Structure 1
Amino acid sequence: MVLNSEQSSADSGSDSESGSGVTVERIETFTVALPTLRDFGVAGGGVTVKGRPAVRVLVKVTASDGSTGWGEATPIPSWTYETTESIVSTLSHYLAPAATGLPLWDLDGLVRVCDRTIRRGWSTGMPLARAALDVAWHDALARSRGVGLGELWGRRRHDTVDLCWIATGSDPAALADSVAEGQAHGYRHFKIKTGLTPGEPESREAARVAAVREAAPEARLVVDANQAGTQDSALRLARLLGPLDIAALEQPLPANDIEGLRRLRDLSPVPIAVDESLRHPTDLATFVRRSAIGIAVAKVQRCAGLTLALRQCQLAEDCGVALMGSGLTESDIGLAASLHLFAAYDLVAPADLNGRQFLTSPYATGPTIRVRGGTAEVPTGPGLGIGVDEGTVRELAC
């Protein structure tokens, strides 16, 4: 499916109406099917199935000076409520018409237009759809100025980002094999998902984690429950994980259980990281006020794009909250955006950017992202710093 919008925003109030400055002229949406390499699941269900194409929504922004940019949305109903259909509909019928005609430089204006067009519920409305547009906008703006995202922001602390390998498997033997596969690819650090089997005793969950620790005794190891626990079960699991030198237990409770996460942070022998709860910078502010957070997980799509993700990361740093980095099994466009974000801050654990482990990006052309020995090099070219073959994107469109 390929959709586009060239309708000018009636309420943008932008300088483009006077003819000054570079404006956004066209926003196109492509639904593409990407080849998958391995099975992958989270507590809510499957993310990828080997041999079954993984659907991603790509967005192309074209500015009046000819600059273009690309963004990506990753529909994973097992992780959040946005589907392929809702992302495409939101972009093509709501966000694209509202944003077309805005000045390319006005990233804050894009956020405000999106806020007006799709109102908030519990938190940011349609963040994955918004993230694809925001990242494409950043890419086009930086390319228009001939600089990379770090130069655009005036902020880049690191040239590389350490990544973790997702240890998959339902039993200790399969997990050990998965760790060995990751090590063969040069990865030194690992992440394991829990809550994959409803009702599984915490002792069995801990045994799976112990198998990963045994196979990788020197690794930084993160355990991610993806909201699968209750206050009691999460505390039992945390206590069982205590002797295993875990860097963090990530999102063990439902996103809106702020008091439960505060209590767990106080009682847990392992650090608690918060991910799905932090859709907007104001969510982080609430956690900080309630002393309910020690580690915040940065994630571009969850935060509706780079503009709000940068705000949230800066707020975390200013408040003394540690940062971890994660993604949504994106292809290379999303991977590049996340690498730029994480290179701008200091992370306390290797980033979970696992797209390369589970799918391929046939559209990626030179320059491409280099991942060596479990470490990704942050792209250095203009914009996102990667090439996108639009012909291949159109061939993949479904």
Structure 2
Amino acid sequence: MPFKEPYPTSIATLTALDTLLVIVTTSDGAVGFGEAAIVEGYTHETRQGGWDFCAQQARQSIGLTGEQAISQWLSHRALHSHAVAAMVSAVEMAQSHPVLSAHQETVRVPLLAPVNSKSQALVQAEVDRLLASGFKTLKVKVGFDVNEDLQRLAWIQSQVGDRASLRLDGNQGYQPEQALEFVRRMSPQAIELFEQPCQDANWDAAVQVARVSPVSMMLDESIYLSSDIDKAAELQAAQYIKLKLVKSGGLDSLVDDLRRITQHGMQRVLGNGVASDIGCWMEACIAHSYIGNAGEFNGFLKTEDRLFQNPLVFADGDIVLPPGYWPMLDMPVVERLSVKQTSFH
């Protein structure tokens, strides 16, 4: 799914969304679908490994109940959380999971937007355009070069003023000494939090940066299992934890993980900026019930194509779900975009 414009991170500059799409039909005719875009470098998983896992597990699961299949797939969450999430959430949708149930009222869920421009003039124009579109939280990617990142951040802060809050995202791009230099030199103006500046496995670095940072820290790539949430709390490595459906392995597991964050006294953030309409819709439904800040499930705004016959609505900075909303796949679009398909009956 080509992006409208390149999406830069310190891991890679993404130009398209390569996602695994799983469609499940139950014996009584109910249909559900789930997805997972595996960004190699963000996770230990690979796209080919995700495809192979889904194909193998789908073949082995014909004839199982939904509960049996979900239990079998979740046992592989530690190694294949993205692929597991695509399969589990498809079954959960087919079972009309209550968090996805169509609402009787209009639901609005706030989103953030990334600032991608590099030059000062373009940054100023992009910030003004995003604020005019209703966004009240903007995301700033750092983790490249400390001096250049600080300069660009200062431009954005100057243009934003008090009109929005900023989330910084390092995407594991800094060495520990670079992250420490960055937080010591940056201005905290308008910054809500600073996300994952160092490598996911470097918990010592996370603790060191959290101790000196003038703004709240958030972990993302370091968090895959429930035990990682416990570890972050024990080490006091962050004040915020960001979750994604593709890391938790399904809707029920995601809700459990969100509750676990709160039990530890930490704040929770939700959202995958590299997901299609499917993942964004599911995370928006979860956020409506469990999240009180801007969601990061904005991938559907990045892609040229939309996968739903009844597309997700964006208005004034929010995803808007009208009463009774239930998405339907646009199969001609799915067929046109598909690179590889297989099915099991």
CA distance in 2, matches of 1:361, 1:387: 15
Partner residue, 1:36: 3
CA distance in 2, matches of 1:272, 1:179: 23
Partner residue, 1:149: 99
Partner residue, 1:61: 24
CA distance in 2, matches of 1:212, 1:325: 23
Partner residue, 2:50: 87
Aligned residue type for 1:254: Q
CA distance in 2, matches of 1:316, 1:387: 33
Corresponding residue to 2:72 among 113, 138, 142: 113
Corresponding residue to 1:290 among 235, 244, 261: 235
What is the correspondence of 1:328-347 to structure 2 with a 5 Å cutoff?
328-347=273-292
CA distance in 2, matches of 1:328, 1:101: 35
Is the counterpart of residue 359 in structure 1 residue 303 in structure 2? yes
Q: Does the 8 Å contact 1:134/1:307 carry over to 2?
A: no
Q: Alpha-carbon deviation of 1:191?
A: 0.3
Q: Does the 8 Å contact 1:191/1:222 carry over to 2?
A: yes
Q: Deviations over 1:187-221 (max 9, x none)?
A: 232101112x4xx2x23211111211222222111
Relative distance call for 1:379 and 1:73 in structure 2 (3 A) is farther
CA distance in 2, matches of 1:185, 1:356: 16
Q: Does the 8 Å contact 1:168/1:174 carry over to 2?
A: no
What is the correspondence of 1:240-389 to structure 2 with a 5 Å cutoff?
240-347=185-292, 349-366=293-310, 368-378=311-321, 381=324, 385-389=326-330
CA distance in 1, matches of 2:251, 2:36: 13
- Describe the SS at the equivalent of 2:262: helix
CA distance in 2, matches of 1:252, 1:330: 22
- Describe the SS at the equivalent of 1:301: helix
Q: Alpha-carbon deviation of 1:78?
A: 4.1
If the length of structure 2 is used for normalisation, what is the TM-score? 0.89
CA distance in 2, matches of 1:175, 1:78: 27
If the length of structure 1 is used for normalisation, what is the TM-score? 0.78
CA distance in 2, matches of 1:346, 1:335: 14
Relative distance call for 1:86 and 1:372 in structure 2 (3 A) is same
Q: Deviations over 1:364-392 (max 9, x none)?
A: 112x322111111246547xx21212233
Q: Alpha-carbon deviation of 1:306?
A: 2.0
CA distance in 1, matches of 2:155, 2:10: 19
Q: Which runs of 5+ in 1 are unaligned?
A: 1-33
Q: Alpha-carbon deviation of 1:324?
A: 1.3
Partner residue, 1:393: 334
Is the counterpart of residue 73 in structure 1 residue 36 in structure 2? yes
- How many residues of Structure 1 are paired with residues of Structure 2 in the alignment? 338
Partner residue, 2:343: none
Is the counterpart of residue 134 in structure 1 residue 134 in structure 2? no
Provide the alpha-carbon RMSD of the alignment. Answer: 2.5
Q: Deviations over 1:193-251 (max 9, x none)?
A: 112x4xx2x23211111211222222111000011122221122112234323100001
Relative distance call for 1:150 and 1:54 in structure 2 (3 A) is closer
Aligned residue type for 2:119: D
Relative distance call for 1:379 and 1:236 in structure 2 (3 A) is farther
- Describe the SS at the equivalent of 1:40: strand
Partner residue, 2:126: 178
Partner residue, 2:342: none
CA distance in 1, matches of 2:256, 2:189: 34
Q: Deviations over 1:252-293 (max 9, x none)?
A: 111112232122222211100011111111110122222223
**Identity score, percent:** 22
